[in-house]
Structure 1
Amino acid sequence: MVEKIDVEFEEGDNNFLTHSMVDKMLIQNRKFVKNQPKRVVDLHSLETRVSMNPYVEKASVFLTIDGILKTLIKQRKPLARLVNGDTFFYIDRFGVKIPMSSNFSSRVPLVSGVEDATEIKELIKLLQTIASDDFFKKEIIAVERESNGEYVFNVRSGDYRVVFGGSEFASLKLKKLKAFYNKALIDETITRYKLINVKYHNQVVCTKHSHNGKQ
């Protein structure tokens, strides 16, 4: 007999699913699999059912010798929150769409202007480069892809925007931007600017809030 249901989540900082939500996925014929004979439990069907949930990246369902039905789940991890018209959804590192959840809100960049699969693939590569740096992972809160294919960032530390340009040479541009930050944040000159442009080779071009032009 199945004596107990045990649900385990792989480590991660997302909490879309709860243990009780997974328990409900394991219902067969309106009855829990608990107390059913082990030989009649369709493990493949249960695993398929859990895997079909949009928040599940990977699931494994199996029975232990002592009658415990174990379910191991790896939840999908959002990389960004996309807005398309009035529609919001997350995407993960594979470009899979993840619905918004009332249980959990992930602190990932808000992205606009990205629509087709090619643009999403390019976006994922850029976001993974950003996420690999602890500072920029927190600093860049929104990404806008303009019609010319260039990106503009909204940041956490001020009301200025970063004109990033295309996705090419992303690591080099971020390195250049960080060097600028290291100086401008310390001497507080960064508050003078409304745009910080790093799309040009080997230079940072800033536009001031005043009418004094570019520095």
Structure 2
Amino acid sequence: MNNKNKPLFIILKISCIVLLPILFLSFANHRNNNRKVQKLIITRQAPLDSIQYITNDAIETLLFSVKNAEEYALKELKMNLLEKKLDADPMVENADIYLTIDGVLKVIIKQREPIARIIDHNQFYYMDIQGVHMPLSKATSARVPIVRGLNEALWEDAYLILKHIYTDPFLKENIVEVINNKKNFYARLRGADFLVCIGNSEDISLKFNNLKAFYKKASKDHFLDKYTKVDLQYNNQVVCHRTPEPTAPTQE
């Protein structure tokens, strides 16, 4: 090879080494971006992974209102915009969306978690695990206690009580209703006729531990139907009001 052409040859060789991979990569990206979405997979994070407060159909409609997900080319997808759409839904706490290498669009959502259903005159809504108002779901109903008569000024007090109920397996299973009357809170238990006077949220853990101990013993001794009211407001004790015994008719 002529020595004069050697530098030119080296430049061409280096250019090919640098440019060819870029061209191949550009071609591959162009081809990949024109591919269609292969599949849409929606999953929900625990503990609400088996409950659909927002359905899969509603999620797909929210994300792709014009056409089905599989009709979109990968280059048409704006991940940040799609995530913002889901995050704005009142049933969703947060969402993550990403594409796999084989063109599968994966949506992972964390749904908001209701802990109580509030009945406020003609309005119905949830309180969620963060203590925030949450609208009712159009898809399903949460199995949570009903709350009546809640004074908004006592919202924080109610939240502390209701969150404790929700996170305790026994209380979550058995307390079906909470009532706010003035500054006091009351509860009704599944299958029991007596009213539980909670008072306020002060010492709530101790109060509910006392209630569980009382319930366990009274249930074992078959005394649950003997009481009309169980008061938890007194220090480290449960005060029970018994059902009056029927009096025998007097004979004339």
Q: TM-score, normalised by structure 2?
A: 0.76
Larger Cα-atom Rg: 2
User: Aligned-residue CA RMSD in angstroms?
Assistant: 2.0
What is aligned with 2:141? 105
8 Å contact kept, 2:60–2:69: no
Aligned with 2:114: secondary structure? Answer: coil
Aligned with 1:159: secondary structure? Answer: coil
8 Å contact kept, 1:26–1:32: no
Please say if 1:121 is aligned against 2:123: no
C-alpha separation in 1, matches of 2:45 and 2:96: 11
What is aligned with 2:224? 190
What is aligned with 1:141? 176
C-alpha separation in 2, matches of 1:161 and 1:79: 21
What is aligned with 2:70? 34
Please say if 1:24 is aligned against 2:58: no
Amino acid across the alignment from 2:42 = V
C-alpha separation in 2, matches of 1:62 and 1:166: 46
Say which is worse superposed, 34-43 or 70-79, in terms of deviation. Answer: 34-43
What is aligned with 2:39? 4
8 Å contact kept, 1:14–1:75: no
Size of the aligned set, in residue pairs, is: 209
Alignment of 1:20-99 (within 5 A): 20-27=57-64, 30-99=66-135
Any gaps of 5 or more consecutive residues in structure 2?
1-34, 247-252
* CA 10–202 in structure 1, closer or farther in 2 if over 3 Å, else same: closer
Which contiguous aligned blocks of 4+ residues in structure 1 show a shift greater than 6 angstroms? Answer: none
Aligned with 2:95: secondary structure? Answer: strand
Query: Sequence identity of aligned pairs in percent?
Result: 33
Q: Deviations over 1:29-64 (max 9, x none)?
A: x12343433223211111111111111111112222
Q: TM-score, normalised by structure 1?
A: 0.88
Larger % of strand: which? 1
8 Å contact kept, 1:84–1:115: no
C-alpha separation in 2, matches of 1:189 and 1:66: 64
C-alpha separation in 2, matches of 1:161 and 1:115: 20
Q: Deviations over 1:168-208 (max 9, x none)?
A: 00111111122222222122222121111111113322222
* CA 24–195 in structure 1, closer or farther in 2 if over 3 Å, else same: same
8 Å contact kept, 2:53–2:91: yes
8 Å contact kept, 1:198–1:204: yes
Q: Deviations over 1:73-119 (max 9, x none)?
A: 11111111011101111121112322223421111011123243x63
What is aligned with 2:250? none
